[in-house]
């Protein structure tokens, strides 16, 4: 049996959370720095990210994350002050289009390493897939999305992306690393455009088995003990992260590849009804 559900957000304040800038470390433990690998990221990136962090507020009973309006293009995290081990996490989210965000689990408190459940509400994005921040940059997703538009070009809903138009190719290894992969058709049928959607994450094990659902529809499952991906070493990664870690919400930065297609000017992500139940597992 596990503990009772516990709220991580009181609906009025950011008590229990700490804002940090979105700075980069190494690509994997002991590997090269991100700024040395990706030419589009300048050497002074981290200094500038600290200067212009994301802005977090509480509005209408929801946590709202935005880029700095006067100095846009930089991101940040809102990190829980508590650590969690095995758990089920539930929350509701509502992101503008495009707004690239996510929920990090087993995150380190003072640096960017951790496992991210993606909420990439943008072209070529994944909602419910996985990314390894600083632990191999693995990208495990079952499908990728795009936006449908009406005759005037106004976004009106999500669709599965046409590979011919992609900004970030769905490579075979991204789907192959998943222990189980959900259906784009079922996900899209349950998705609520321009409304609140429900995310559930189950994380169990020292090298966790992580499962995601959106609006009670299964999306993806990754087994961190067994999947294979270039530069992902489970022994090194889970020795670094440990069996407990922080929860974090993300405001992504912009970059030379995606630009405003990753985070539109003035866009926001919103989170509410955040609760967690720790699990007693063998």
Query: What's the count of helices (H) and strands (E) in the chain, helices before strands?
Result: 5, 18
Q: Which two tokens stand for residue 33?
A: 């720095």
Q: Which two tokens stand for residue 142?
A: 């079952």
Q: Residue 2: what pLDDT?
A: 59
**CB atoms closer than 10 angstroms to residue 223:** 17
Q: In the predicted model, what is the mean pLDDT of residues 96-119?
A: 96
Look at the block and give the residue holding tokens 């992969």: 181
Q: Residue 281: what pLDDT?
A: 72
Residues 178 and 62: beta-carbon distance below 8 Å? no
**CB atoms closer than 10 angstroms to residue 166:** 13
pLDDT (tens digit, 9 = 90+) per residue, 47-100? 999 999 999 999 999 999 999 999 999 999 999 999 999 999 999 999 999 999
CATH class of 9-278: mainly beta
pLDDT (tens digit, 9 = 90+) per residue, 155-187? 999 999 999 999 999 999 999 999 999 999 999
Q: Residue 280: what pLDDT?
A: 86
SS3 for 47? helix
Radius of gyration of the chain (CA): 18
pLDDT (tens digit, 9 = 90+) per residue, 115-135? 999 999 999 999 999 999 999
Q: Residue 25: what pLDDT?
A: 95
């Amino acid at each position: 049996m596990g503990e009772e559900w516990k709220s991580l957000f009181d609906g009025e304040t950011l008590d229990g959370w700490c804002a940090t800038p979105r700075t980069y470390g190494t690509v994997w433990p002991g590997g090269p720095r991100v700024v040395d690998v990706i030419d589009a990221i300048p050497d002074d990136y981290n200094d500038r990210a600290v200067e212009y962090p994301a802005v977090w507020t509480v509005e209408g009973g929801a946590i709202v994350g935005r880029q700095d309006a006067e100095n846009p293009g930089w991101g940040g995290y809102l990190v829980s002050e508590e650590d969690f081990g095995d758990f089920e996490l539930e929350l509701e989210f509502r992101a503008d289009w495009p707004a690239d965000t996510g929920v990090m689990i087993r995150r380190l408190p003072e640096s960017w390493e951790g496992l991210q459940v993606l909420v990439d509400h943008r072209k070529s994005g994944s909602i419910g897939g996985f990314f390894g921040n600083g632990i191999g940059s693995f990208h495990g997703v079952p499908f990728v999305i795009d936006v449908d538009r009406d005759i005037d070009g106004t976004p009106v809903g999500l669709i599965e992306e046409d590979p011919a138009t992609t900004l970030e190719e769905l490579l075979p290894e991204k789907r192959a690393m998943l222990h189980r992969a959900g259906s784009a058709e079922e996900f899209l049928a349950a998705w609520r455009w321009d409304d609140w959607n429900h995310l559930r994450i189950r994380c169990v094990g020292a090298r966790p088995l992580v499962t995601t659902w959106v609006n009670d529809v299964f999306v993806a499952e990754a087994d961190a003990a067994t999947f294979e991906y270039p530069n992902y070493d489970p022994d090194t990664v889970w020795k670094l992260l440990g069996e407990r870690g922080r929860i974090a919400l993300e405001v992504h930065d912009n970059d030379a590849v995606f630009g405003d297609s990753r985070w539109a000017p003035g866009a926001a992500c919103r989170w509410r009804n955040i609760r967690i139940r720790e699990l007693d597992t063998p």
